[in-house]
Each structure stands twice: as C-alpha cells, then as structure tokens.
Structure 1
Amino acid sequence: MNQIALLNKNSFTEKDLLLLASKGCEDSFTNLFHLYKDRLYTFVLRLTNSEEQTLDLIQDIFMKLWMNRSVLATVDNLGSYIFRSARNNIINSFKRAMNEASILSELQAPNNLHKDVEINFEYKILESKFKNVVKKLPPQQRLVYTLSRDQGLKHEEIAQQLHISTSTVKNHMVEALKNIRMFLKNELDIAEFY
C-alpha cells in the first residue's frame, strides 16, 4: 500500500515521521510541522518580539529542513534540532542588526547634531531601502544571498541545498553584492559598504 495513504500522525512515532519525510513524504513532513509550529512560534516570538520576524524565521527553518530532508533520518530529537536552529538564526539576526547599527552610527559620527529619535528614524528608512533592494534581486540571487547572509550558510552548503555548483553560488553572490553596492553608491553615495 501507499505510504502516504497509510500516514496517520497518531499511528507513527516522530522517528517514523522523520524517516518518511527524509524520503520525500510531504504528509509526514506536514505532520512534523504541525507538531512543532506552535511551540516554535511561542519560543521565537518571546525572543524577537516581532510577529513578522517570527513567521519569517519559522518559514525559513522548515523550508531549510525540507530542502535538506535527507538529514532528517539522522535526527534523534527534532525538537532540539529545530529550537537550536531557531536560536542560532536569532543570534545571527541580532549580530547582523548590531553590525548594521554600528555601520550606521559610523555614518552618523561626523554629524552628532541628530537626536537619537532622528537617527533611529533614518536607520529604519535605510533598513527598509536595503530590504527592498534585496527583494528586487533576481530570485536565485536573492535566495543565495539570503541563505548566505540571513542563515549564515557557506557557499558549499548553499550549493548542496540548491543542487547547484559552488561556482554558481559564488557567481550569484558576486552579482547580488554588485547590485547592492550599486544601490548603496547611488542612493547613499557610499563607495564601499558591503
């Protein structure tokens, strides 16, 4: 009989679901998603205080899990695996935010007449413009850039995940960074930024 037709989350252990999902069974992966999504949402929201960021992060975690589903067969405790991944992504996100804030404060250093509120407002505008530039990248460039910068994956890991060569990943990153630099140079009059 068909595995998918037999799939019932009440009759399978988590390990069974992981093994089936690792072989491409979407129903078992969906069951795993439903087992963890609410707890993961609560955990991430408590740390980020942002519903949008929380939803994006959860989507990224499960998308990455599905794209690398072959490793699910080796996972003993999916909860630990998912929560560790979420924690690492949140830490990386905070590090990026601190780095961006540092860069912005350096840009503001010569003109200390601005009030904190104005600096924060300008930072939000710059951050919004930057995100829009990333959104406007061609889909493959945007995906490669996001996997590299947002998820901290190495070029080899991205290549494996997307089933493309490492040189293709490097080419996409070069083009993405070139487009971002062009934006920064044109919009902000910054020659070298990223």
Structure 2
Amino acid sequence: MFGIVDDKKLFDSIKNNSETAFKVVYEEYFIKLTQFISKMSHDKDLAEEVVQRTMVKVWEQRDKIVLTTSLKAYLYKVSYNEYLMYLRKKSKFPNIESTVIEAIDEIEDEQDNQILLEKIRLEIDKLPPKCREVFILSKVKGMKYKEIAEEMNISTKTIEIHMTKALKSIREALKK
C-alpha cells in the first residue's frame, strides 16, 4: 500500500491511538484480507468474521506489536493465523491435521505461506479423483464421514481410507 517506511509511520500512528490511521489500514486491507481468507474457506461470511477478528486483535494489541515485516505481510499472517485457529476449534480430528497445521505455524512470512499453500493445493490436485473429492468434502466443506459416504454412495470405511491416503500424501509433500 504505502511501502515499508510509510507502513511503519502509519503503524506508529496506530500505536499512538490514531483511529484515523487505523481506519486507513482497515479500509485498505479489509476487502483484500477477506478475499484471501475466502479463497481458502470458500465462505465469505466466515472470511469477513475472521478478518474482523484480525482487525480487532491488531487494534487491541497495537501497543505490543513490533513490525518486523511490511504491514501488509503482518496483516495477512495474523488473518491467516486467525483462520487456522477457527479450523482448530472446528476440527473434529485435530490429531490428524496436526502435522499440516504445525508446518504452517512454523512459516514466518507471507511469501513462504503462499509457497506452502500452493504446495498443498498441488498435492490435493495430484490426488486420485475420488480421494480428492472426499478430502474436499471433509476439509473444505466440513462434512462428516457419514454424510460424505451417503452422498457418494460408498462406505465410511472407504472414506477413512481416502482421507488417510490424502493426509499422508500432503504430509509427505510438506516434508520435502
């Protein structure tokens, strides 16, 4: 938006309780961050809620925040982490996803996040069609195994096998 020097000045103004500076950041980034989260969640309302929580968190913790990257990268990282927190709370199988989530948590900047997300997307695209469909229905749409089994007209055991295969494939890709 403004560049690193201007971002730091803008953020310094926010740290000094400037609601005007915060409003500038909010108006500049709210839609962009919502689109970013919406691409992952496929849920615009959820994305807006996550970004709203991000902005509230930034305002409430403004005096504790030290920018080590650009303001843009910081906001994307915070909103992404808020989305991950939502997924963790929602997840019925946190242990299955822990390897993927831990790997994502270790990433330090936006560029690495994008590389990691692209790696995950590519790995999902490489999955066999039924396996990919099961994974997307479970992890993206949040359906239960029983619901997926009924929709696809296959057993829940087959769903479990597809999910195990998908998660194993993604974990192995993240280790590379």
Q: Which category of TM-score, normalised to the shorter sequence, fits these structures? A: 0.3 to 0.5
> What's the TM-score once normalised by structure 1's chain length?
0.43
> What's the TM-score once normalised by structure 2's chain length?
0.48
Structure with greater Cα Rg: 1
